[in-house]
Structure 1
Amino acid sequence: MYLAPEARIADYESKGWWRGITVDELLKETLAGDHAELAVIDPSNREALDGVAPGRLTWEEFDERIDRLAASFHQLGLRKDDRIVAQLPNTIDAVLTLFASARLGLILSPVVMQYRKHELGHVFEKVEPAAFVTIPSFHDFDQAALGTQLCKAHGAQLLMFGDAPDGATSLDDAMQDADRDALARYRAENPVSAGEVFTICWTSGTESQPKGVPRNHNHWVLNGDVMVEATAMKSGDTILNPFPLVNIGSIGGLMMPWLRCGGTVVLHHPFDVGVFLTQLQQEKVSYTIAPPAVLGALLKQPELLEKFDLSALRTVGSGSAPLSPWLIEGWKERYGIEIANIFGSNEGASLFSNLQSVPDPVERARYFPRFGARDADWDGMTATIMDSRLVDPATEEEITEPGKVGELRLGGPMIFDGYWRAPEMNATAFDSEGYYRTGDLFEIAGPGNRFYQFQGRSKEIIMRGGVNISPAELDDLIVGQPQIKEAATVGVPDERLGERIAVAVVPHEGEEPKLEDITAWLEARDIAIFKRPEFLVIVDALPRNAMNKVVRDELREMVVARL
């Protein structure tokens, strides 16, 4: 299935920006070249996640397991361009599902484990999957029951790793008898092209429901090249992946560069500082990612870090919130570890400050090189392939001088081709020159005006622990609570998570809603736990503009003042 125009594919491939190979072909390149012995290592606590003992696969075992799973999918009737939704913890099975989908030519739509009926129902309606891939249970939640209900309602197969209930198929069993020769014949007759859609990941914005972000094989292969440049990864590096395989941060930021370098990827789930540090030491990890709050908290606990040998760790990628010079300087001076400042989005936004491009730690914390700007020269592949500019969102005039805040607009082969089945969103997602409207506010700054400095988000999303949460979605749900007349949610600052969710409510006369009333209301509607507010403020009225829209910046100030 193609979403990228034929002319764009031909243009980018002729320039060498898109390599014209699929993710599976990149895997075959890695297998044929020099690579580490081990490909993938399970979380050390996997048994607590899904009851399966942790595993380790060599690259050859990994390839065979991928082939067996792809053959199982084919034997179960799945065909090229079929969509599948996967809700899996960060284990080897999730990695196998990603690459088996690439081999058969399926379109994979991965979702976080926290999604419940509300979020999954929206994904199923949009994607219309042929199958749902999950596990029987997770943290005492009955995944099988939810999967059975969704698949029955939407006419999808229920496929499970582990023991499958009646009406579902065990992929573990299917892989034992998979016809790999039939798979090979089918693939020869139905080749996958690099310009075809491979994944649909989900992101939240100001809209009331998550948006599907399709990316093709070319996008993902290029993503690996960009991240190798951003993080200075080396051939055979061991990478620790603490994020589930559901978005560009994990798939593009870790899995694709791991594949590109032929190293070893160590999986981690859920995030646990003790397990994280232990894995860094035991597996001799050279690169990982962590949010600024975690890096800052660890830096303030030297007595904890002294218990672990982190000498193999060269670089840590961080982002999702502004970094501080203190943090970058501290990790470098005390432990010899470089922090790469990375800004990105599922849509393909990508800016980074690393040791090579911005050696000064103060500048690296504050600024991003203006890659792709017409009046700023930078070396490297990313700067060459990217187009960027700042635009006054009120006037649409381009900003070329420092001292004025504008919206970052991006173009080039990293940027997606439009949201999945959302023409109304796509009509406003790109500007008149074809640049993607990121919704993020920057200013031209730094020495020689060669940098962008982050100033905030023009979109109203809440960023909790690196995950985007739509306030509009929560508003629509909460306002139905019987005690409430009006409600609006905002993000409030938090040192550990970046932001937490607060809700301001205008109650009906005589009502006194409590926070637990709101969370119980959302729980009854199967809303993911991470979306439920953690603070409640009672207000007489919500601040609104002349168009009767809630002014969230003003509301945020009101809420913070009362917490």
Structure 2
Amino acid sequence: MITSSRQKIEEYEGRGLWQGVKLHDLLLERAARQPDLLALVDQPSRQQLVGSEPQRLTFAELQRASAHLAHRLLEQGVGFEDRVIVQLPNIVELVICYLAISRIGAIISPIPVQYGQHELDHIAKVLDARAYIAVKTLKGKPFGSLMAKTLGSHLSVLVLDENLHIDYGDDTQARRHLQKHEAANPWDANHIFTLCWTSGTTGMPKGVPRSHNMWLSVALNCIEAGDYRPGDVLLNPFPLVNMASVSAFLYPFALSGCTLVLHQPFEPEVFLQQLQNESVSFTLAPPSLLNRLAKNETLWGQFDFSALRAIGSGSAPLSPWMIEKFEGAYGIGVVNYYGSNEGISLVSRPEDIPEPSVRACMFPRFGAAGLTWPSRASKSIWTKVVDVKTGEEITEAGVAGELAVKGPTVFDGYWRADSVEVFTKDGYFLTGDLVEICGDGNRFYRIAGRCKDIINRGGMKISPSEIDVLLEGLPGTIDVAVCSYADADLGERICACVVPSDGTNAPKLDKLVDYLCEKGIARIKLPERLELFSQLPRNPLGKVQRFVLQQWVGERIAAGACAHTDQEEL
């Protein structure tokens, strides 16, 4: 299946933006050149996660394992362009599945282990999937067979350590089978390889088809941003089911000759131990952990992070003070990423934007007319801002509009869905994110929120993400975010949702407001209610699920729960 037009393929290939390389090609080349190089490492807590011992595989072992699994899939009737749902946590078998499915020209649809039967049934039907691969148990509870019990009989269910075992031995027979299959089914890097899914925070998840060429294009940007070097060790703490992990780790580790260390679910203590014990060169981490480490030099000093050159983050605005601390006191560069499964690929590197206060909340206007940047990424994506209502391009600073992107990293449309409305007439993808042109010489974008993620307080449109980032340094808190709640007079008001570090000494609303006032924020943006929670709802990418917070707060209000404090009318 090829979704890209011949014109697009010829343009991007002609400009060297698509290089015609498939994922398993990268593995085969690396295994031939460096068979004994350590390729893949499980997290130390794998036993508690899936009930089996952690593994460490060389590139030669990884190549053999993927060949065996590809052979087994063919025996199960999975063939060229068939869809295979894979629901595994970050363990070595998940990487093996990607490589094996690439080897037979099938399409992998990786889904988060957090998805339940409701989402799985929907995805299986939408895809008309041929097979489902899962773990036998997850955190000590039955998983694979239990999840698959409602799937149709036409779909092969393969459960690790039950009816699916990965072989690492001689793969001669498997390779012969694969050679015959490849000869009978020629395909190239323009064919769709993955069907990842949107977060599904509103409605059911939507499938995002992406080709090898699309993935490799964004992976090269990630390699540049993280300054990956041969022999580096990369630590991936995010689920290997979406843009952040596939583009930053899966393709790059084989392309660059790096060791990929896996981690999931996110456990700060285990993560920090892995950074030290595996001598990690680069990783991604959620802003909340980076803030915690920046606030606690004692905690940082308990570990040896001397191998760590840079660390990336994203999914929410970063804090300038955190970047200053990492780069000034710890000597670790911080890269700010902004991406999506559909192909948004913006990155703020120290090399491009040295000033932390700018890099924390702004991104270069890649591809904008008249602007140039030294990075490869700036030459592989084009952007503009359009008016949400009229679709006209916005070129002046300080006016919020929808970010539109185009280029070799961007997908062609959602799976079996009418995608006309998400593209402009000239082929730009409408991201749904609000941005403003800003900064010196109007060279940057500032993320202003989601088109539908805006608080409307008496006709004043307020971005909740702007308030979130200002509250990240609030003393006495582990996590904080704001959401709207219904109000008869103003339509919506703002509630601060706080996870306190000490339940007996939780912050009060007046102190929170004073903290924001010190930042110079407009009074119209000050929260008027505060609610305490043990944790905030986040999706598999770590993004706050604001609609869930709104539901929780609304339920408390409906139940007659009093706010901790209510602000006077503003």
Say yes or no: TM over 0.5: yes
User: Which residue number in structure 1 is paired with residue 521 of structure 2?
Assistant: none
Give the CA deviation at 1:359: 1.6
Query: 1:43-58 counterparts in 2 under 5 A?
Result: 43-58=43-58
Give the CA deviation at 1:273: 0.9
Give the CA deviation at 1:396: 1.7
Contact 2:405 2:428 in 1 (8 A): yes
3-state SS of the aligned residue for 2:195?
strand
User: Which residue number in structure 1 is paired with residue 526 of structure 2?
Assistant: none
| 1:437 paired residue among 401, 419, 430 | 430
TM-score (norm. length: structure 1): 0.81
Q: Separation in 1 of the partners of 2:77 and 2:565?
A: 54
User: Which residue number in structure 1 is paired with residue 117 of structure 2?
Assistant: 117
TM-score (norm. length: structure 2): 0.80
Contact 1:85 1:131 in 2 (8 A): yes
Q: Separation in 1 of the partners of 2:485 and 2:360?
A: 31
Q: Separation in 2 of the partners of 1:120 and 1:194?
A: 28
Say if 2:554 is the partner of 1:537. yes
Deviation digits for residues 341-394 of structure 1, max 9, x if unmatched? 110000000111111111222221131111110131212322122211011112
Q: Separation in 2 of the partners of 1:122 and 1:454?
A: 32
1:212 alignment partner AA: G
Q: Separation in 2 of the partners of 1:285 and 1:348?
A: 27
Deviation digits for residues 307-357 of structure 1, max 9, x if unmatched? 100011011110111111101110111111011011000000011111111
Structure 1 residues 374 and 137: CA distance shift in structure 2, 3 A: same
Contact 2:30 2:59 in 1 (8 A): no
User: Which residue number in structure 2 is paired with residue 251 of structure 1?
Assistant: 246
Give the CA deviation at 1:435: 0.5
Q: How many pairs were matched up?
A: 489
User: Which residue number in structure 1 is paired with residue 68 of structure 2?
Assistant: 68
User: Which residue number in structure 2 is paired with residue 135 of structure 1?
Assistant: 135
Give the CA deviation at 1:505: 12
Q: Separation in 2 of the partners of 1:499 and 1:254?
A: 29
Give the CA deviation at 1:179: 3.7
Structure 1 residues 183 and 284: CA distance shift in structure 2, 3 A: same
Structure 1 residues 497 and 243: CA distance shift in structure 2, 3 A: farther
Give the CA deviation at 1:28: 2.7
User: Which residue number in structure 2 is paired with residue 88 of structure 1?
Assistant: 88
Say if 2:447 is the partner of 1:448. no
Query: 1:106-505 counterparts in 2 under 5 A?
Result: 106-151=106-151, 153=152, 155-162=154-161, 164=162, 169-172=163-166, 179-204=174-199, 207-423=202-418, 426-460=419-453, 495=472, 499=481
User: Which residue number in structure 2 is paired with residue 487 of structure 1?
Assistant: none
Contact 1:205 1:461 in 2 (8 A): no
1:456 alignment partner AA: G
3-state SS of the aligned residue for 2:89?
coil
Deviation digits for residues 55-111 of structure 1, max 9, x if unmatched? 101111111111111111112211110101011010000110011111111100011
Contact 1:42 1:267 in 2 (8 A): yes
Q: Separation in 2 of the partners of 1:235 and 1:497?
A: 37
Contact 2:61 2:168 in 1 (8 A): no
Give the CA deviation at 1:170: 2.1
3-state SS of the aligned residue for 2:385?
strand
Structure 1 residues 284 and 206: CA distance shift in structure 2, 3 A: closer
User: Which residue number in structure 1 is paired with residue 517 of structure 2?
Assistant: none
Contact 2:401 2:436 in 1 (8 A): yes
* Larger relative contact order, structure 1 or 2 (CA cutoff 8 Å, min sep 6): 1
Structure 1 residues 186 and 374: CA distance shift in structure 2, 3 A: same
Deviation digits for residues 481-521 of structure 1, max 9, x if unmatched? xxxxxxxxx99958556758898799xxxxxxxxxxxxxxx
Deviation digits for residues 249-291 of structure 1, max 9, x if unmatched? 1111222222221110111111111111111011100000011
Contact 1:220 1:252 in 2 (8 A): yes
- Structure 1: runs of 5+ lacking an equivalent: 463-489, 507-529, 542-557
Structure 1 residues 33 and 224: CA distance shift in structure 2, 3 A: farther
Contact 2:311 2:335 in 1 (8 A): yes
Contact 1:89 1:113 in 2 (8 A): yes
Contact 1:71 1:183 in 2 (8 A): yes
Considering only aligned residues, what root-mean-square deviation do their CA atoms show, in Å?
2.9
Q: Separation in 2 of the partners of 1:195 and 1:240?
A: 29
3-state SS of the aligned residue for 1:288?
strand
Structure 1 residues 310 and 173: CA distance shift in structure 2, 3 A: closer
Structure 1 residues 538 and 271: CA distance shift in structure 2, 3 A: closer
Q: Separation in 1 of the partners of 2:565 and 2:414?
A: 34
Structure 1 residues 99 and 502: CA distance shift in structure 2, 3 A: farther
Contact 1:137 1:143 in 2 (8 A): yes
